[in-house]
Structure formats: structure tokens, C-alpha cells
Chains A and B, each alone.
Chain A
Amino acid sequence: MSEEKNVVSRRSVLKGAAIGGAALATGGALSAESASAATRLKGSTVKWTTRGGGATGDKIAKAVNDAFTKKTGAKVVAQQVNSDDFQNNFAQIMQGSPDDAFGWMAGYRSNHFGEMGLLADLTREINRLKSTLPTAAIQGATSPVTKKPYILPTTYYPWGLHYRKSMVKDIGMNPEKINNWDDFVKLMTLTQKKGLVGYSLGAKGGWEAMGTFDILNARVNGYKYHIDLLNGRAKWTDARTKETFKYFAQLIPFMNDNVMDISWDGMRDLLLQKKTGAMMMGSWFANDFKAKSQADYDDLWVVPFPEINPKFGVDTIDAPLDGISVAANGKNVTGGKALAEFWASPEGITEAVKAGDTNIYVSKSFDTSSYDAFNKQKLAVLASAKNIMFFLDRDARGDFAGPVVGPAIQNFIKKPSDINKILENVQAQWDALPKN
């Protein structure tokens, strides 16, 4: 616990300068405002949307919303929607008659809609939560364009190198010591010698392999270069980008033959069925191991992606940040903001965890003492990094990540020798995008 806090404060120091003046609110105005808000809140109705999560999602939402009602006297009408449908129709939903508050994702996905005026400015709420939130999370929730936050950060999860401890032991290596590129290549080579897949990857959806690219680029060229690249401040045709793809090309001979045919769940199955040595993925699938058996779950392990360039070590990680946003077009924006703030506050988090939420919260008040070994390891993986990327399709603009970078990586895996042509094409498409 204290270790986690240290990490957070280290991040805060490093990122502190970056957020600058993410808006200031004076104490007096604040309390007057909140007093009138409280009276307006009582008896009003706030609408809430949960994105997916099934019965557990509903249960968590009910617990938190009920606590909110108890505290403020405002009624909450909640619904659950399919996550993909909500995301795909987000612009229309926000322009129609949206629910007041909902679970959403940080990065371009909130910044872009916030800048369009579809998400409410949450500066006042985030300032009130400031003492409980790490600075990196606040920075991640803030639009670099308008300097305003459009989401209150709540949870995140790490992308790491996953493998089975038993399989690594089988090939005569120490599962606790997969630290650098040489260890990693050795692991893949020895696994492949056993007739298994050395490194499994799926690229069917176009986004899965972005995780591998993100981390390779961060390990080879560092966090700053990666973020610069995704935002047009560095070139895709740069020798440094090509260097990243040289490492990527080294992985290809170790991969499964059906990379284009499987998605993340196909990768998970390969690991579950002991057919692969390692894979780079978000840790959300661990419950499927538990569903199979406790032994399988205990066997599962995650470490930070191995070091490549000692200059950067393992200082960066992909850890997509989720949170709560408020619709600017909602019927009850005041209520929505209050509900969002409650969800992101220590009180709300306590209710969610009590109701069975297994997510890792960014809040400093979040208690992880009851975590099992795998979840503790997830925290350790998060803690090993001082820079947090949100994943390529959230760090880069939406009309670039999915339509351009996704297919480019797919083409690269199909024909690695074409890399120069592919990168020129990516750069040309970036240059052709309308900028404002």
C-alpha cells in the first residue's frame, strides 16, 4: 500500500509541471456554488449509463447510485448498454438526449468530444478530488487543447507480458526474471523448440497488435518520442520509428500462423491451452483463467515488457484510464456532475468495491490490501512505470489510429520487408488529415 503511494507521488513529481493551470477555483465561490447545487439536487432525477458489465455491472451501479441518493436526495435512473454500441454511436447519443453521467474512457475519446462541446467541463469536480487523485491521472483526464478535464478518472489496467510460470520453468528459465530483450528472445526460442508458439499475437480487429507496437516503441525510443509520434511531432519515416519495427520484425518468426484470424480472445485461448510462451495484453482476461481452475489462475503471471534500451529501462506502460464523464446535453447537468464526482470520490469507490468491483482504482485512498498474488503483481507492473500511455487508439486521434495505424501494422505483419513503403504511407495519411 505504502509502496503504491510512493509510486504515485513519484509520478506526481514527474508530471506535476505538465498540467499547469488546469483551471483554478476559489474557495469562497466554490462553497457558495456547491450549496446552491445541493439544494437544486434534492428531489431531482439524474440519469446514469453503465457500459457493459452484466449483472455485476448493474449491482455495482446500484450500490454507488443508492449511496448517492442517500447522500444528496437526488434520484438516479440507471441503465446498462452494450459497450461497443455505446462507443460506436457515441456522437449521436451525445447529440440526442443522453443520460447525464456515464462510464467513459480517457484520452482522445473524451478530449475530442469535450472539445466539440458534447461533454461537460469537470474542472470544479476534479479540483475537489485533487487530494485523492495522482497528478498523472489528472493530466490524463485533461484535454491538451482546452486544458479542461472532461472525465473524472477512476480505474485503469496494465498491459503487460503475460505467461504461465509453469511453462517458463519447464524450459529451464526463472519466471521471475524475464527482464531484458535477451531473456525474452531466449524464452520465445526455447518455447518454440518445444513445438509451441513463441509469442502469440492477434490482429484481426486491427487494434490488438497496437499494444505490441506501443510498448516496443516506448522501450526503444522512450515515452516522449512515442507520444510525439502519435501526435505528429515526430515522423513515421524517422529512423527511430524504423528501429522499433526492426524489433517488431524479430518477433514475427515466433508468432502463431493465424495472427490475422484471431483477436485477443484467441490469444488468451492459446495461453489458456498452454500452446504459447508469452503474449502482450491487457490483464482483463485473468478471470477466464480463474473460471477454468484456481491452478490455472495461480499459474498466470504478468511482468512489465522487458527492457530494450537501458536509457529508458521499463519506465513506460500502456494503462488505459477509464472514468466518468458528464453529457453537456443532458437534462440535469448539475446532477450529472454531482453523480460523476461521487463515483470518483473515495466514498463512491468504497461502495463499488463492496459491491464486487475488481478494477484497480487510481485513487490514492483505494485499499489493495486484500488483493491476491496476481492482482498485487498487476499493481507492481503499474508501479514499475513512471510514464503512462493510454493505448494507441486513445493517445492518437480517432480518425488516424483505427483507419491508418491499425491496417499499417497488419500489413507489416503480413509482409515485414515492405516496412519503408508502409511507413511512408502512414506519414502521408497523417499529413493529409485536416488539422485545426
Chain B
Amino acid sequence: MSTGVVQSEQYRNSQKRKDTFISIFIGIFAFVWIFPILWTVWTSLRPYNDIISYGIFSWPRHITLDNYFNAIREMQIGKYLLNSLIVTVPSVILTLFFGSLVAFVVTRYQYKFNLTLLLLFTAGNMLPIVLTYIPVFWMFIWVGELFGNRNLLYNNYGGLILVHVGFQVGFATFVLSSYMKTIPKEISESATIDGANVFRHYWNVILPLLRPALAALSVLMTTWIYNEFFWALVLMSDDAKRPITSALRRLQGQYVTDFNLLAAGAIIAASPTVIMFFILRKQFIAGLTLGSTKG
């Protein structure tokens, strides 16, 4: 028996060593991740003049919050936050609605093309958006001209929402379908026996069961769409309609860019999602690991 104790002690020691090693490893990576953010905060607290006079690595002569006040004023935060809201909320709701519809069909009903359909939706998600930018742009213009109004989709909130829904629905379908597979088939069967039609089956039986998954996904989607910058930039020609992420670009001049002011602006623009993360931590983690137990 004593050998067993020695063995487990050895085992424990090696486990301890492994843990320390992993902790150090994680520590290094955490530092690498957090460093640029800390650097941004640090930069945002220093006046521009300090940097150009003494260099970026110099010891600070002044620490001030002026950059934040100036950024709030110059970015016209209220207007652009509202734009972000106008784009993000419908995008998330529509993405979840369409995503759950597709997921519902591919998991609850047996069709020949179920897997193909699911693959198609997921594969579309893999395309880098810069690749699809020019075709999407022309599609928007042509569809607009078909109805006699170029701005039907282009330079319009509706178009931007449509693009977000289109690009996010693949991921939503993927996650929701793997979650739906964990819902026992018997529930669906009894619903069918009780005479529920397809829509009732979706709306009254499956959707309520999806609630945790939808909550988790909506948090993730909101962050992604809120942080999105590219589409808003290229599909909105009116600056006044662009979301908060592009308002940051207002802080950049044609020649001279005050990076300290920009750093303050970046932190302001990023803060809603960071705050959201700390409040809804659980949903975030749930969203990232959703359906991972059942493939």
C-alpha cells in the first residue's frame, strides 16, 4: 500500500509542477493580451504635446483626463451611439429569428439536404468580408436601381442591417442547431402527436427551450455587430448614419493625428461592450461553449 501512497504523491508533485507551468504560460499570454489595452489607457491619459516633445516612451510630465472630455465632445457620442443601437438591435433580433428557424428545420425534420444546408450556412461564414465587399456593394446599387432608388439599401440602415443578418445568420444557425440536438426528440414527437403544426411546434415548443442559447448568442452577436466597422464604413456614404466605431475616425486628421485623443476615444467606444461583458459574463462563456457537449 505504501508504494501506492508514494506513487500518488509523485503524481501530485508532477501535477503541481504541471499546474505551475501552465499558470506561468497563461500568465504570459494574459500579459501579452492585456498589454496593448493598458498601453492605450496609459496613452489616453497623456497630453499630445508631451508625446511629440519627449517621445512615446518618455516619462510623463502631466497626467490628465482632458483627452476624454475632448473625445466625448468631438466624437458626438450621443448621435453615433444611437446609430449603433439602430443597427445592432434589429440585426441581433433578426439574426436569432432566422438562425433559429433554419436550425429548427435542419434538426427537427429529416430532409435529404439537411447537412448540405447546414454546411452551406456555416461555410458562408468562413468567407472574409473584404472578399465580398465589391459584389455586395454592386448588388446594393443594382437592387436599389431596380426600384428606382439607389439609396434603398446602399447608404441606408436597412441595408446595413441586412448585411449583418446575412453574415451572422450562419454562425447562429450552427450554434443553435447543435444546441437543439440536445433537446430530446420525444418532446417534438409528443408535440406532433398532440396536433401541433410546424409553426406552433417551433414557436410554442422549441423556442422556449432555446431561451438560454438565445440569451447567450444575443450577447455575443451584440458585441460583434457593435464592434463591426468595415461594413458601416463602405456601405454608408453619409457619415451621420455611421455607428460609433467609425465616429472614432473623426478624431483622425488628414495629416496630424492626435493619438492620445484617439486612445481616449477608443476606450470610450469600447467601454459599452466591456461593461456588458462584466455584467453578462456567464452568458458569454455559455455562448462560447454552447452545444460543445454534443456534436
Contact = CB atoms under 8 A, between A and B. Distances in A.
Contacts of A85: 233, 246, 249
Interface stretch (A11-19, A193-201, A280-288, A425-433): A280-288
B155 interface: yes
A284 B253 CA distance: 12
A288 B253 CA distance: 13
A83 B253 contact: yes
A61 B249 CA distance: 19
Interface stretch (A48-56, A368-376, A379-387, A389-397): A48-56
Contact of B74 (A55, A272, A284): A55
Nearest to B261: A54
Interface string A276-314: 000000101101100110000000000000000000000
Interface in A68-117: 79-85, 89, 92-93, 95-99
Contact of A80 (B137, B150, B239): B239
Interface residues of B, number: 29
Interface in B114-138: 134, 137
B53 A273 contact: yes
B260 to A, nearest CB: 12
Contacts of B154: 96-97
Nearest to B233: A85
Contact of B252 (A52, A89, A287, A288): A52
Interface in B24-62: 48-49, 52-55
B254 A96 contact: no
B8 interface: no
A268 B253 contact: no
Nearest to B251: A54
Interface in A230-273: 264-265, 268-269, 272-273
Contacts of B233: 85, 89
A52 B237 contact: no
B17 interface: no
B141 interface: yes
Contact of B250 (A82, A273, A291): A82
B240 interface: yes
Given A53-B253, A80-B250, A96-B155, A291 B234 contact: no
Interface in B242-283: 246, 249-250, 252-257
B52 A52 contact: no
B141 A96 contact: yes
How many A residues touch the partner, as a band?
20 to 34
A53 B254 contact: yes
B186 interface: no
A96 B237 contact: yes
Given A85-B233, A95-B141, A272-B53, A287 B256 contact: yes
A287 B254 CA distance: 14
Contact of B239 (A79, A273, A292): A79
B52 A284 contact: no
A408 to B, nearest CB: 24
Contacts of A96: 137, 141, 150, 154-155, 237
A89 B230 CA distance: 11
Nearest to A81: B239
A97 B27 CA distance: 50
Given A273-B53, A291-B49, A97 B237 contact: yes
Given A82-B252, A83-B254, A288 B239 contact: no
Given A89-B234, A93-B237, A269-B55, A285 B256 contact: yes
B222 interface: no
A100 B239 CA distance: 15
Contacts of A284: 255-256
Q: Specify the main secondary structure of chain B where it touches its partner.
A: helix
Contacts of A82: 246, 249-250, 252
A84 B52 CA distance: 22
B151 interface: yes
Contact of B238 (A79, A89, A292): A79
Nearest to B259: A265
Given A93-B237, A96-B137, A268 B52 contact: yes
Contacts of A92: 134, 137, 234
Nearest to B249: A82
B232 to A, nearest CB: 11
A212 to B, nearest CB: 18
A18 B249 CA distance: 41
Contacts of A83: 252-254
A91 B240 CA distance: 20
A54 B239 contact: no
A114 to B, nearest CB: 19
Contacts of A99: 237
Given A81-B239, A89-B233, A292 B252 contact: no
Report which residue of A97, A264, A272 has the largest number of chain B beta carbons within 10 angstroms of its beta carbon.
A97
Contacts of A81: 239, 249
Nearest to A289: B52
Contact of B150 (A53, A97, A285, A292): A97
A291 B50 CA distance: 11
Interface string A46-66: 000001111100000000000
A269 B52 CA distance: 6
16 contacts: A53-B253, A54-B253, A79-B239, A80-B250, A81-B249, A82-B252, A84-B254, A92-B137, A96-B155, A96-B237, A97-B150, A272-B52, A273-B53, A285-B255, A291-B52, A292-B49
Interface of B: 48-49, 52-55, 74, 134, 137, 141, 150-151, 154-155, 233-234, 237-240, 246, 249-250, 252-257
Given A85-B233, A288-B52, A291-B48, 15 more contacts: A51-B254, A52-B252, A52-B254, A54-B250, A81-B249, A82-B246, A92-B234, A96-B150, A96-B237, A99-B237, A273-B53, A273-B54, A285-B255, A288-B256, A291-B49
List 4 A-B pairs, minimum CB-CB distance, nearest first: A82-B249, A52-B254, A83-B254, A79-B239
